[in-house]
Structure 1
Amino acid sequence: MFFEGFTLTTREINGVVYRFRSEGTGRQTVMLLHGRPETHAAWHHVGPFLAADYRVICPDLHPERTPAEQASDLLELATVTGHDRLVIAGQDYGAHLACQIAAAAPERVQAVIVMEALPAPDHTGRDDMAFSLSQYDCCWFGQLHPKPESQTIPVPSEWLENPLPSESIFAPEAVADYLSASIWQYAVPVIWPVPRARLTCPLMALWANSGRIGGWYNPLTLWRETTTGEISGHPISGRHFLAEETPVDVGNSIRTFMQHLTSA
């Protein structure tokens, strides 16, 4: 069942309507932040897996708002839903936002989990042409006319197939949600703070063993420069959409990390 046991809710926060799912019991709360171009539905496997032991909240992001505005919004959303202390896990865009929230409210964020992401200020200037051209849009714009104009689809092409290919890692319900949501339609260019405020909490980094992040960089080396807290992490099978490619590995990694926080 899709997001079994979870309640879908909307709440106005700072004049903006946030849609989110929540469920679970326990003393710890984990907030799961999706990446681009998905919605909270990306966590439909991992959320219920974690809800057996933790309180889980999965909001849709509002990328037309600045990182600082979203950090304020999501902290307020946590407050009004009864979540004071948080562990925040995020995928790519959501990972950077998790760090933004942790920097804004270190007294409330117990730890951060970043998936398929590098510290933005450290990444700027480090990438070479090969890395730049491997980015989804750039790989098309780097080709001759008319390829860029005809092929710049901002979503994986299999999402547009009906029905989805049988071998797809994506659930039909999730893809329907991604395509019906408009949260990325009005996204603004993101300017992450430089220099970014140094984090003080533990941080775990997860990256795809067949993806670009680990192929170009040592993620732990870069993330170690962002926090005075304990650093851990490891690669996971997959290419990028880890929560949907290998949800059990992601869920177990998050659970083990949170158990370590409790025992530390």
Structure 2
Amino acid sequence: MHPIVERGESPFIAGFQLQDVTLPNGVTLRVATGGQGAPLLLLHGHPQNHLTWRKVAPRLAEKYRVILPDLRGYGDSDKPASDERHRPYSKRVMADDISLLISALGYDKVAFVGHDRGGRVGHRLARDHADQLNCCVFIDIAPTATMYALTDKAFATRYFWWFFLIQPAPLPETLIANNTAFFLRKHLDGQLKTPGATPEAIFNDYLRCYQQPEMIHAVCEDYRAAATIDLEDDAADSRRIACPLLLLWGAKGTVGELYDVVDTWRDRAQQVSGEALPCGHSPQEELPEMFLDRLSAFLAAQRLTESL
């Protein structure tokens, strides 16, 4: 077992304990865990941390052992130095973290749910570490390569940060650091279509992490990797996701309005289904009851068992 340091109860997610888990690669991830049963790992996206799952995690913990990591570079996880090719923030390396975490916690397989960047990490995880996944759920994403390949004025306008954050350092880092709270609030308000979905206390925790210079740089590196080395890795890999894949997306969001989401994944997954929900980018925060209903039905159909 690798070093796990207990950090006490989560102040935001009832019944969950915080841990710092140091992986064999030397990276330490902040993880919130709760519940008992088959392991279910949920991975957040940008610009959130694991608190994006706060409305659904306690209910899921009634049936599953719920695992909520912060991605490397995000939240209270380590923010390693990058390199000229952005490899440390490639989805392949970030997926390796999650693979190592699954093993470090003593599991053979997990059910996986990924939102936004977490889903993109999950796509690579399902290719590189297929034997560790029972099933996958990706929330509000089309494949990265597809979205770049189909870029037009509508997409570039709505998802401007895909093109802003990839600019060479320190341009985006400097501009974001000048007024991080403004940038973060405008980003969340633009993505989520349900007023009040992110209460002030949660926004403040997102901001606490985001305003760290190391996180701002890590976020930019995550997106720089997505526009470069991740595309190279994707082009060199024809493997399809073998486990069942469920797609959920917001009908009011950019992905839902610009793409046939299920169709974008058909050549990347062997078993794919999906549904639009009447919200924006983050159904787990905007429509938690409906999200839980769809997720719970999918997980129940997989007949998951404990894999310790």
Q: Same fold (TM over 0.5)?
A: yes
**Greater per-residue helix proportion:** 2
Matched residue pairs, number?
A: 248
One-letter code aligned to 1:62: R
Could you tell me which residue of structure 1 aligns to residue 234 of structure 2?
Answer: 194
Q: 1:226 aligns with which of 263, 268, 276?
A: 268
Q: CA deviation at 1:139?
A: 9.9
Could you tell me which residue of structure 2 aligns to residue 212 of structure 1?
Answer: 254
Aligned 8 A contact 1:113 1:204 in 2: yes
Q: Give the root-mean-square deviation of aligned CA atoms.
A: 2.5
Could you tell me which residue of structure 1 aligns to residue 199 of structure 2?
Answer: 171
2:180 is aligned with 1:132:
no
TM-score (norm 2): 0.74
2:33 is aligned with 1:22:
yes
Distance 1:84 1:119 in 2: 27
2:176 is aligned with 1:154:
no
Q: 2:216 aligns with which of 177, 185, 188?
A: 185
Could you tell me which residue of structure 1 aligns to residue 45 of structure 2?
Answer: 35
Q: 1:215 to 1:186 in 2, by over 3 A?
A: same
Q: Could you give the per-residue CA deviations for residues 117-163 of structure 1, whole angstroms, max 9, x where no partner exists?
A: 0011222221211111111437999xxxxxxx799943123989xxx
Q: CA deviation at 1:71?
A: 1.3
Q: 2:291 aligns with which of 231, 238, 250?
A: 250
Distance 1:127 1:112 in 2: 26
TM-score (norm 1): 0.85
Q: CA deviation at 1:261?
A: 1.1
One-letter code aligned to 1:199: I
Could you tell me which residue of structure 2 aligns to residue 164 of structure 1?
Answer: none
Q: 1:15 to 1:221 in 2, by over 3 A?
A: same
Q: CA deviation at 1:235?
A: 0.7
Distance 1:140 1:9 in 2: 34
Q: 1:120 aligns with which of 114, 138, 144?
A: 144
Aligned 8 A contact 1:88 1:109 in 2: yes
Percent of counterpart pairs with the same letter? Answer: 26
Q: CA deviation at 1:31?
A: 0.8
**Alignment gaps of 5+ in structure 2:** 1-10, 74-87, 166-174, 190-194
One-letter code aligned to 1:70: M
